[in-house]
Chain A
């Protein structure tokens, strides 16, 4: 922790409400944060929409300072203070960013208009989402766990992920922040004894690959022993077109995920 300056010791943002600081913070945000959180802080493919007043990991400015400075363990959010990887931000710059984020927050974003209760029925029922996705400890393991997704992704991003899941698989970040590399590529291999295995990549390096198949069985394979190895960024998840899941039904599913994710 960079506890050297008066800035860091503050529990409150010393630059709160300062328009000049917010402007400086906007530049800092473009440079340091927009990569994941999008221009205007409205969320990108990787990071949450920060214009929402409700945030999963932070409430107070002091908490936000800690998260920006030190990162969030177990997530792709890296430490951004001078103690972290990459170009570190000074305490003052972090407070400027917080001032900027507070200035663009909206109390209620583009909330889903759907029926969360019906969305939950669909999720665990006819839409088959829970065969592969888990929410609050219930569901499958093949796809990403979705408890927090409604609090961290925009409505548009969630809709796109369902309609066109291959459009944006979870890209690995640049190496410095790539703490966990799962990108959910589809892997198809033929083992030495001629067995075909198709599943989702849990992890992979030059010499080994760890796969989960649709029955949630984990395969630990050495590439050198395989007859064939194919990797695709076509998601194993089917694209839910409007025939499969109507716009109204999808809106209900998104409403369910949002209600859970923003609890």
Chain B
């Protein structure tokens, strides 16, 4: 009898030894990501940009008992901004200097490791970072710091194709996690700090052939070109370094853009500087623009509008919301691009009026000066690259926020190809309050802040919400924190020993839910005991 039981229990384990079913990741699977909550198939978890996991095994009643399950050490210094993907028991992520790797999602043991060979003279703006992969078919896709787009085999990490998008020597690079849509890999370029002319590209996922390019700074003869003075459009910036979203109903990609170059000196580029600091609605098949909304016109404070836009359907309306670096939370009608509301969600001094459309307008005296001038928010913005989250259960939008003012000073710097080009310097203002950092829960219907949690110091961590009624965040001091999504009460924390610059995500293997986040130079995975 005893033998029988042992055999039976052994047989229950049979599945563990069977080869993993590595089904192809189709466009339809990403489109219906909610049907496979155990997987995390795209940067924000779904095409809506919500960073919401439908998993609820870890919830507000048991989160206090979370424990570390495994840690994967990258073995390199520098910031980790990666958001892992998980597909059918395998976790895919990236790290500094264009490392990519696949791990057994239950144990953290590597399946393959890849590192792109970078030239010595790349021009990364803000650390040798990468925010993650896209996956489609049997390939994962990574943009590199030398402005290549590469496709790696999901089973081996072998390079399937490798295309050069632009010349890294004049300042182009990729740090963004691409977005796979249909059979396309959509990716936006970095390099605003070097006076590049920004663009968003789409590549054939199978061959690597470029299918379309949308220049975020219009050339001669194109609408919007008149918003640039003289030849300033050629070095106008407006990069596109954070991942956009996709609306299947209208076949549109919503992609946000960054600041005009040079970032803190408007002299020489008079005009609105379209399509910098804008949200673009692009036809997914052609890259043609259907509409745009510019958040900050003629920006002089480095307030990239590159924050992930989140699609929300409420009251019969199809909306898209963004917590912008300039300190305002914007809600647009995503059908028309028309502004519905703009509410301050942090400390701001740059605007005290709105135009006829309700768009906040910059004060004349907010411009930087040679001697320096204090403006809030500072150059890092009220938020920045950190992924926000939206929870359809609480109907709250969660954002990592910062109150900081800087002294903005111009530096009349000539453009030279391949050299940093900001025309500016900024200093934390000693006269201002100490910087304060928050996790804020915003009601998109009213712009009201429903609750906020104050960090010891501002964090650059992204966020995750789950159907378990939780919000997860990390902090600059190395803690990973679970909070009640409704109240903001802290339920659990774990000291990871390194600052967090990455967003969390959730997945499940064998019916067990896990939460992952990169901190310091490692990827951490937590679960119930």
Contact = CB atoms under 8 A, between A and B. Distances in A.
Interface secondary structure of B, over-half rule: loop
A219 interface: no
Contacts of B459: 175
Interface in B398-416: 409, 411-413
Contacts of B455: 206
Nearest to B457: A172
Interface in B431-484: 434, 455-460, 475-479, 481
Nearest to B458: A175
Most buried by B among A85, A93, A175: A175
B419 interface: yes
A171 B458 contact: no
A198 interface: no
A17 to B, nearest CB: 20
Interface string A206-227: 1100000000000000000000
Contact of B475 (A4, A86, A176, A205): A205
A246 interface: no
Contacts, number: 98
A30 B124 contact: no
B434 A233 contact: yes
Which size bracket describes the interface of B in this complex?
Answer: 35 or more
Interface stretch (B115-123, B223-231, B516-524): B115-123
A178 interface: yes
Interface in A6-36: 27-28, 30-32, 34-35
Contacts of B18: none
Contact of B120 (A2, A34, A85, A233): A2
A181 interface: yes
B425 A90 contact: no
B34 interface: no
A82 B122 contact: yes
Contacts of B475: 205-206
A204 B456 contact: yes
B425 A176 contact: no
Interface secondary structure of A, over-half rule: loop
A88 B477 contact: no
Interface in B12-67: none
Given A5-B121, A27-B413, A206 B493 contact: yes
B141 interface: no
Contacts of B478: 205
A89 interface: yes
Interface string B97-136: 0000000000000000000000111111111100000000
Given A27-B413, A30-B425, A205-B477, A88 B124 contact: yes
B353 interface: no
A1 to B, nearest CB: 9
B430 A45 contact: yes
Interface string A84-112: 11111110010000000000000000000
Contacts of A31: 411, 413, 420, 422, 424-425
B137 to A, nearest CB: 34
A168 interface: yes
Contact of A85 (B78, B426, B434, B456): B78
17 contacts: A5-B120, A27-B411, A28-B420, A30-B425, A34-B425, A82-B122, A83-B128, A86-B126, A87-B125, A93-B420, A171-B428, A175-B457, A175-B459, A205-B478, A205-B479, A206-B477, A207-B495
Interface of A: 2-5, 27-28, 30-32, 34-35, 39, 44-45, 82-90, 93, 168, 171-172, 174-176, 178, 181, 204-207, 233
